[in-house]
Amino acid sequence: MDYYNLARGLHILAVIAWMAGMLFLPRLFAYDAEQNAKPEPLRGEMQALLRIWQTRLLRIIINPAMILAFIFGGWLLWLRSGDGADWSFAHQPWMMTKLIGVFLLAGWHGFLAGQRKKIAAGTSKYSGRFWRMTNEIPFVLAIIMVLSVTMEWSF
């Protein structure tokens, strides 16, 4: 069996799910923030519904997908190293770029998870405009990471 391609396929599927959630969650935050200008009871009802969706998206899709992406990514690293024998590829610019991108994406994930709690508590300071402007951060990071890995470029 070709374990490397199996690991790669499972990693790609997990990343797709993670990215889908990371692109949608800020949209829900934007919709939530925009409810503040609406009158009651519509505002309260919509925000309650949006906050349920935010929580479910994070707990049911985004968090598990991130964990699986890390597990399958670690498996890929292990297989690429020849079962731990040769880690020289990890020092290549393309791999370092990929790992920095993963670190940044995980940091953005943490920021979004923290903001979900603040939004639920009514203490978030960010506007719908902020969430729309930052919505594409995960996709920009994905472009950099995917091109780094597929091109395996160096200096």
For every one of its 155 residues, what pLDDT tens digit does the chain have, with 9 covering 90 and above?
899 999 999 999 999 999 999 999 999 999 999 999 999 999 999 999 999 999 999 999 999 999 999 999 999 999 999 988 999 999 999 999 999 999 999 999 999 999 999 999 999 999 999 999 999 999 999 999 999 999 998 87
Cα 72 from Cα 128, distance rounded (Å): 34
Structure confidence at residue 62 (pLDDT): 98
Nearest alpha-carbon partner for 68 in 137, 19, 28? 19
User: What is the residue extent of each domain of the chain?
Assistant: 2-151
Token pair recorded at residue 118 = 């603040």
Q: Report the distance separating Cα 146 and Cα 31, nearest Å.
A: 30
* Cβ-Cβ contacts under 8 Å for 142 (sequence gap 6 or more): 15, 19, 101, 105
Helix (H, G, I), strand (E, B) or coil at 154: coil
| Residue appearing with tokens 């374990």 | 3
The whole-angstrom separation of Cα 151 and Cα 43 is 48
- CA-nearest of 125, 104, 15, 129 to 66 is 15
Q: What is the pLDDT of residue 28?
A: 98
Q: Is 125 annotated as a binding residue?
A: no
| C-alpha radius of gyration, the chain, whole number | 18
Query: pTM of the prediction?
Result: 0.93
User: Is 91 part of any known ligand binding site?
Assistant: no
